[in-house]
Structure 1
Amino acid sequence: MATPGTQGTPKAAPTAGKAPVQKAALAVGAVFLLVGILGFIPGITTDYDKLAFAGHHSGAMLFGIFAVSVLHNVVHLLFGVAGVALHGTFNGAKWYLIGGGLVYAALWVYGLVVGRHSPANFVPFNSADNWLHLGLAAGMLALGILLGRVPSTAPHDRRHA
């Protein structure tokens, strides 16, 4: 229960007192959760009847653009849960973004090397996914590195009068 007089005030907000890197990790995690859920909604995911558990043969497309499968959607959901869970600490948020950026950079390279119809394309990926993975890698790495330099509440960051 909120302390009387705090409802609607900035201190009542769930991100009050959080460093920018923590807010970024929460936002990224929330987007991944949303995308994971949307991947299971017919209409938002076109050719939903062709949604396979995994593999390049899944014909479902999120927003009619991005190849998805049940496994792909579950990975988005798990990645979202990780972001929400790790945003609670400065280091957790920082390393979620940096680690996630490295994972997406690896997925981008994997998508370039593995053919669209190859059995090794188990998630599945298409060209739109590959470019999105590159953008996610760059964005998450930038957020983790730039916002994760020094927590704003670190004792050595405080000025004493």
Structure 2
Amino acid sequence: MSARNFALFSGIFFIAIGILGFVPGMVSIPPTQPDPELIVNTGYGYLFGLFPTNLVHNLVHIAVGVWGVTSARTPKSAILYCQAFAILYSLIAVMGLLPGAGTTFGLMPIFGGNVLLNLATAAIAAYFGFIKVSGIDVGPEDKGRVAS
């Protein structure tokens, strides 16, 4: 698999997750234990009963998905996507563990099962963005330089 394939597949995955977040049968009511308070409660629930989500979270997933799909067009943009995705989603995973920041300051839930999902996808993106980037096809402007 290449960075381009990861960008494409993760993009499709995040678009699908974002759309599924709008499907009532896929989102269950929050558990009985109190969750952190959100400013945006629209569409709040647990996707597949595991991942807290709301309207803003679904829209962010769709936007990240579109970013991934469009980044898959060229090796350079796919690698940049993987690198940025790895950094951003690692930070989001850490935020999900912090009180107050676990709801992106009330806008969307990034706590609970989201932390592990964000860490796992960030780790895979880091692999394709930082580790497995040698041997990529480069454009004419990069001829003679080794991709790192």
Distance 2:93 2:19 in 1: 22
Distance 1:153 1:57 in 2: 44
Please tell me the residue identity of whatever aligns with 2:38.
G
Distance 2:104 2:89 in 1: 20
Question: Structure 1 residue 152: deviation in Å?
Answer: 4.0
Residue 38 of structure 1 is matched in structure 2 by 20
Distance 1:116 1:46 in 2: 23
Identity value in percent: 28
Kindly indicate whether the alpha-carbon contact (under 8 Å) linking 1:90 and 1:148 is maintained by their aligned counterparts in 2: no
Question: Structure 1 residue 86: deviation in Å?
Answer: 0.9
Residue 76 of structure 1 is matched in structure 2 by 61
Q: What does the per-residue CA deviation read over 1:80-117, in whole Å, with 9 as the maximum and x for residues that have no partner?
A: 00011111111100010110111011101111122488
Aligned-partner SS, 1:114: coil
Distance 1:80 1:117 in 2: 22
Q: Which has the larger radius of gyration?
A: 1
Unaligned segments of structure 1, at least 5 residues: 1-18, 49-53
User: Structure 2 residue aligned with 1:55, among 38, 53, 64?
Assistant: 38
Kindly indicate whether the alpha-carbon contact (under 8 Å) linking 1:67 and 1:125 is maintained by their aligned counterparts in 2: yes
Residue 93 of structure 1 is matched in structure 2 by 78
Please tell me the residue identity of whatever aligns with 1:87.
A
- State yes or no: 1:125 paired with 2:114: no
Question: Structure 1 residue 122: deviation in Å?
Answer: 2.4
CA RMSD of aligned residues (A): 2.8
Distance 1:133 1:66 in 2: 11
Question: Structure 1 residue 147: deviation in Å?
Answer: 3.1
